Amino acid sequence: MRHLKRPALLGLLLLACLLLAGCQMDSTVEELFTLPRLPTEYTTLSRQLDQLLSEGYEYMAPTSGRNIQSLQMVDIDGDGRDEALAFFRLSNGEKPLKIYVFHSREDSYELASIIESSGTAIDSIYYEDLTGDGRKELIVGWKISSDVQTVTVYDMRPGPVQLMQSNYTRLSFQELNGDGIPSLLLLRTNSDNQPVAEFCSWQEGALSVSHRCTLSSTMAELNQGSVVTGKLDQDTPAVFITGINSQGIAVTDILVWQEDAGLVNAALDRSTGLSTATAPYRQLTPQDINGDGITELPRPDSSVSDTKQADGMVFWEQYRPDGLATVERTYHCLSGGWYFILPEDWTGDVTALASDAGIGETQVTLSVQGEKALSICALTGENRERRALRGNRVVLRRRTGTIYAAETLSEIYSLDEEALRHNFNLIVHSWDAN
């Protein structure tokens, strides 16, 4: 829960100041030391927000997803001008949660509508054109209680008009059926206490559930996992839904659209009713690891029995009609925030040995068939620049306070500098927007 008084608005106004200050390159000295005037429209918006705060409103930013600011600027109606959406809570009243929507009108922002709900928090908000009319709908997740969440889709013309509402645990957006319009995918427990995915699409002037399928994981297991949108192959959009069971196994359902069947689970074993895409969980999620446009599933080395051990070899598999096929191998050092793609000619057994090589230096040595092939080190401390060039080391990456360097240890398995840098990657944690 976030109770912010002014940060989002101040950030916006400061950004406006910076942009305005850089517009005139031929300004006089006097003008350079004169603070620029804020656009009138932002001044009027600020006054209206201040008035609400003085009346007892407090900022209530969404608590999850990729849009978590208290004040958000979004072009909802497609006219090229951003609307302003402010998220509040007013303690008294049956519907304390409020979203104020302001439209830009020439030199001011005017209040256009107010969306209200009961509940304890605003879980999330998304802006998607679910109807295909060029305007964005508001998809708002409301946290009604500790156990109940509802999602409501609002059409804002003239707005707000409720298009649909449903209970949910997680949600996602993906254009699955080839109509060019993103669809809403809801994950929830149905009335029979079964975990299901519901495909909600715009048809015949209404947004409703058109298809559904059963999932392999409970909602509690899904809350430990991930929801990733990607591609099953070059032509097939897919949603990869991963739950983590009590044995520490990642179970991934792969949802795709088939013309003759609608929404189906491509990884389903019809004899068991569960997904065949299972692997030990090591804090990894499906991703396009090799840049071919297809989403791969991680399969960490099963010989490591400790499910809390985050570092190790990972096989990356693409799901195909005849099963899973390994297309890439990596050494993932999650504890250090990096991974290394193993070269194709490193055939056979590849092992890794991690060690502390001194103060401010950790090192991983990769061996192929028992022969040391490569060492990768992370260097910190004041003299890291000098240590990064010691011996035959090659600098791979730099980030604040750390230098990553590598040194080849074998002529047979040697790599040039370009290959070393290409295969070494820092781990970037993206939003699990759903």
> Does residue 26 lie within any of the structural domains?
no
Percentage of the chain modeled with pLDDT above 70: 88
Q: At what angle do helices 7-21 and 40-54 cross, to 10 degrees?
A: 170
Structural domain count, the chain: 1
Q: Cis omega before residue 158 (within 30°)?
A: yes
Are the CB atoms for 242 and 286 separated by under 8 Å?
yes
Q: CA angle at residue 315 from 309 to 321, to 5 degrees?
A: 135
Handedness of CA 116, 120, 121, 122 (dihedral sign): negative
Domain contains 432: no
418 within a domain of the structure (yes/no): yes
- Rounded to the nearest integer, the mean pLDDT of the chain is 88
Please enumerate in sequence order all residues whose Cβ is within 8 A of that of 184, keeping only pairs 6 or more positions apart, or say none: 128, 130, 139, 151, 153, 171, 172, 173, 199, 200, 201, 207
For residue 431, the model assigns a pLDDT of: 52
With respect to residue 378, please indicate whether it lies within any of the assigned structural domains: yes
Q: Is 289 a member of any domain?
A: no
Q: Which pLDDT value is given to residue 271?
A: 87
CA 218/CA 210 separation, integer angstroms: 22
Q: Is 378 left (phi over 0), alpha (psi -120 to 50) or beta?
A: beta
Q: With 70 as the cut, is the pLDDT of residue 24 above it?
A: no
Q: What is the pLDDT of residues 32-83, one digit of tens each?
A: 444 455 567 788 899 999 999 999 999 999 999 999 999 999 999 999 999 9
Distance CA 152, CA 165 (A): 4
Does the pLDDT at position 273 exceed 60?
Answer: yes
Q: Is residue 410 part of a domain?
A: yes
Element (H, E) at 10: helix 7-21
CATH number at residue 392: 3.30.200
pLDDT band at 7 (very low <50, low <70, confident <90, very high): very low
Give the residue carrying structure tokens 């240590």. 387
Find the domain containing 386 and state its range.
350-426
Q: Which residue has the higher pLDDT, 151 or 202?
A: 151
In a domain, 420, yes or no: yes
* Range from 182-196, 233-247, 300-314 carrying the lowest mean pLDDT: 300-314
- Confidence grade of residue 3 (pLDDT, cut at 50, 70, 90): very low
Q: Is 66 a member of any domain? A: no
